[in-house]
Structure 1
């Protein structure tokens, strides 16, 4: 069996549509791995292409890099993530995405009337914070926070 051909950072950038600097950043964050040749050049296994694709999709829907890194801990090293791996990752992210969707809907629906700050200065505010009672719950915009 022939050994798997490795990719240079430039090849990964072209194939994945991600800038070389982003690949270096992902590597520094532990999201992807490379090894160095005797000439100190980075080389990546072909599995990195799928991992970068997962990173891009996850970021597009609002998953943080820390969340992606945590999810990647469940993947075996140096193996291309499979459909089953993707199912596990996306299922784990589903709850987080549902919460974000609920927060965005609440924000959208209240955006024209109030920013949720709980201020006491706007007489017409439907979410007016009489006697600053929201201060007991903490700082920042409290009314539009999904609980």
Structure 2
């Protein structure tokens, strides 16, 4: 349950995606059953004129969710992951004031490429199905490269 545009207990704000995401976020993350979960509160600035979250914002959310969730699942050091391909199916609208959460599953990781799929939900309803292909880029320095956001199990 969220109130006053705050993240649920156990989530912490994460710094990803440079100035674009910091301007359009914020994004939050937690570990639940050892799985990376990313969340976001849908604010007015994320919405279209009908107070439904804009598909472009959901796309940006998925673009951050998929590689970071995969890195956590694979126990890999944080890396820059340019997007090669991103596919989304918008299954249901997400209204203003909704809290969304995303999880993902890496499908294949090679020395150069990452294939991953994920789901974004509002409560128990799947609102977006996403899949993506990312290029493994340079490592991103971090105090803890395996848990760069310092997430604790909730």
Give me the TM-score of the superposition, normalised by structure 1.
Answer: 0.25
TM-score of the superposition, structure 2-length normalised? 0.24
**Greater share of helix:** 1
